[in-house]
Structure 1
Amino acid sequence: MNRISLYWLLQILGWGGIAFVQIFFVSLSDRGITSVQTWAFIAISVFYLLSTHFLRFIVKKYDWFKLSISQLLFQSVLAMLALSFVNIVVQFLINGSFGILDPNEDFDVLLILANLFLAFLFYAMWFLLYFLFHFLDNYNTTLRYEAKINQIRLNHLKSQLNPHFIFNALNSVRALVDEDPDKAKGAITRISNILRFSLMMDKKQTIEFEDELNTVKDYLTLESIRFEERLQVEYNVEDEAFNYKIPPMMLQTIVENAIKHGISNLVKGGLIEIKCREGLEDDLYIQVKNSGHLATPPSLKAKADGGHGLSNTVQRLRLIYGEKASFRIFNSGNQYVITEIKIPKQRVTFES
């Protein structure tokens, strides 16, 4: 069950349960309860449901979760008082429309104050449960993210330190030692940069886009030594992209995938183009275009062995940004494959 379905289920069960309890206790009185009174209680519960849903909309729209505790308490009390007064007016209207309004009894000051307090109590309970659920869900998401980022970190270290990668890199450097010592020193520096960046990634949720791009450039420079003329690299990065933060090693993973499944399989090699631009709604679009062709779309579902790669990228995007981020990979004609990520420019739900 997703969060929206769970929310509506709890709303209906909660306010429906309150209506049932009220109807039950009134029915135990000496006068009993009529069918008209029953429908009046149900109508009031429906208003509670709609008014709290409207309150949820206000909380989400103006992002009350980012407020300080004092600001949150102040605005919450004001909102609950306002809704409580509106609730009293609605009760009068509902009782009047059902023909059960008694001016001598319903307009009694003590009864109005009691109903006002009861309405405030119900809204306070809703507020408490809603924010408690949010923070517990946020804490659970944080735990899942921490577990996932640890797994990603270990998997990436494993992929960066795998014998095949080290073998190719060192062979490329060895070939340059006699031919071009300065270039060999530069290659060693780039290997060091990549390994150091991997070790320093730790549990960081997001990093500066520039830091990620620099690591990718180091990686592609090393691959250019191995592939020589078979690898062409182009960068088309707008200045606005450097104002964003992205999950660490996300762009690196996509580029590695493009090399492994694209360039490596082509006798003549091909092109890797990295394109980054800002969208109309302050979103960062990252595209990695590589020579090759997808015969079948890759599986983006989580692997049973927890393997890293594109599926891991999709999971991280979902954990950090929810539905506000997107991932897709598709053929561009018959010669190129494009991998595209959309990342929103905003604070993420939780901090590392």
Structure 2
Amino acid sequence: MNRNQLYWLLQILGWGSIALVQIALASLSPTGIAPVQIWALIVLAQFNLGATHFLRFIVKRYNWFKLKIPQLLFQSILAMLALSFVNIGAQILINLAFGTLNPEEDFQILVILANLFIAFLFYVMWFLLYFLFHFLDNYNTSLKYEAKINQIRLNHLKSQLNPHFIFNALNSVRALVDEDPTKAKNAITRISNILRFSLMMDKKQTIDFEDELNTVKDYLMLESIRFEERLKVIYRIEDEAFSYKIPPMMLQTIVENAIKHGISNLVKGGIIEIKCREGLEDDLYIQVKNSGHLAVPPSLKPTADGGHGLSNTVQRLKLIYGDRASFRIFNSENEFVITEIKIPKQRVTLEQ
């Protein structure tokens, strides 16, 4: 059950329970409760559900979760008072529609004030429970993200700093020292950039797309030294892509996967094409196309041999963006493998 389904379940159970309690209390009176009064209370519960859902829309639309406490309290009290007055009007209209209105009693000042206080109390309880659930859920999700990002960092450092990677990189540089010193120095700079970026990567959920792309370029430059003519790299990056933020090491992980499982297995090598474009709904589409073929669909779960890249990518997208991001990997024309990620623009705040 996702958060949206849970929200509606709690809404229906909450306001439904209040309606049942009101019906039970009314039935205890000497005159009992008429069927028409039961329907009036059910309609009132539906109104309260709709009213609180509208309040939730306002809270999310104007991002009340980021307000300072004094401003949040002020706006919340005003909103609940306004809903309470609307609730009084709704009660009168509902009773009028069902023929249960008693003008001599329902229009007394004390009765109106009592109904106003009860409505305000109900809305305060709803508001407190909603915000409490939101903050507890965000706290729990943040803990999950922290655990996952630590795992990502460790796995990436392992892949970047393992002896095999260092051995290949240094051997490539050593071969250039005599024949092309300038290129060797450039390669050493690229290695330094990658290691510095890996070691200095903090726990931010997202970083500038340009920073991630620069690291990928450094990595592919080193791999070009190792593969020589067997590797061709193509960049098709739209300018709009640089206005986005993406999870750190995400593009790097996909490119490493393309090298390891695609290019490395081909005698003649192949191409790596990185394409980034903006979609129609302010989404960033990142495609990594590499020569090769998927014999079987790749596992998106961590494997016993340490294969964490794709599974971590999928889980991080889910944790940060929920259902607004997507990941897929598929064959194209039996000659290429395409990995595609969709990332929404900037909106990484987890919502209830």
CA RMSD of aligned residues (A): 1.8
How far apart are the structure 1 equivalents of 2:71 and 2:278? 33
How far apart are the structure 2 equivalents of 1:305 and 1:119? 59
Letter in 2 for 1:321: Y
Displacement of 1:306 in angstroms is 7.7
How far apart are the structure 2 equivalents of 1:240 and 1:111? 60
Alignment of 1:217-296 (within 5 A): 217-296=217-296
Change (3 A) 1:38 1:302: farther
Change (3 A) 1:284 1:3: same
Change (3 A) 1:14 1:306: farther
Mapped pair 1:134 → 2:134:
yes
Displacement of 1:134 in angstroms is 0.8
User: 1:287-332: per-residue Cα shift (whole Å, max 9, x none)?
Assistant: 1111112222212245578852111111111111112222121222
How far apart are the structure 2 equivalents of 1:273 and 1:266? 16
Letter in 2 for 1:196: R
Name the counterpart of 1:109.
Answer: 109
CA contact (8 A) 1:289 1:338 kept: yes
Q: Which moved more, 1:263-272 or 1:14-23?
A: 14-23
Letter in 2 for 1:13: L
Q: Which moved more, 1:15-24 or 1:30-39?
A: 30-39
Instruction: Could you list the structure 1 runs, at least 4 aligned residues long, displaced by more than 3 angstroms after superposition.
Output: 301-307
Mapped pair 1:192 → 2:192:
yes
Letter in 1 for 2:223: E
Displacement of 1:69 in angstroms is 2.8
Displacement of 1:13 in angstroms is 1.5
Q: Name the SS of the counterpart of 1:149 in structure 2.
A: helix
Alignment of 1:196-207 (within 5 A): 196-207=196-207
Mapped pair 1:119 → 2:122:
no
Name the counterpart of 1:313.
Answer: 313
Change (3 A) 1:215 1:316: same
Name the counterpart of 2:45.
Answer: 45
Q: How many residues matched?
A: 350
CA contact (8 A) 1:208 1:244 kept: yes
Displacement of 1:160 in angstroms is 0.9
Displacement of 1:243 in angstroms is 1.7
Change (3 A) 1:24 1:306: farther
CA contact (8 A) 1:138 1:349 kept: no
How far apart are the structure 1 equivalents of 2:28 and 2:17? 17
Change (3 A) 1:304 1:122: farther
Gaps of 5+ in 2: none
Alignment of 1:37-186 (within 5 A): 37-186=37-186
How far apart are the structure 2 equivalents of 1:305 and 1:115? 65
Change (3 A) 1:10 1:305: farther
Displacement of 1:273 in angstroms is 1.0
Q: Which moved more, 1:264-273 or 1:85-94?
A: 85-94
CA contact (8 A) 1:155 1:307 kept: no
User: 1:193-227: per-residue Cα shift (whole Å, max 9, x none)?
Assistant: 11111111131221121111111111111111110
Q: Name the SS of the counterpart of 2:232 in structure 1.
A: strand
Q: Which moved more, 1:230-239 or 1:142-151?
A: 230-239
Q: Name the SS of the counterpart of 2:53 in structure 1.
A: helix
CA contact (8 A) 2:245 2:346 kept: no
User: 1:160-219: per-residue Cα shift (whole Å, max 9, x none)?
Assistant: 122221221122122222222222222222112111111111312211211111111111
Gaps of 5+ in 1: none
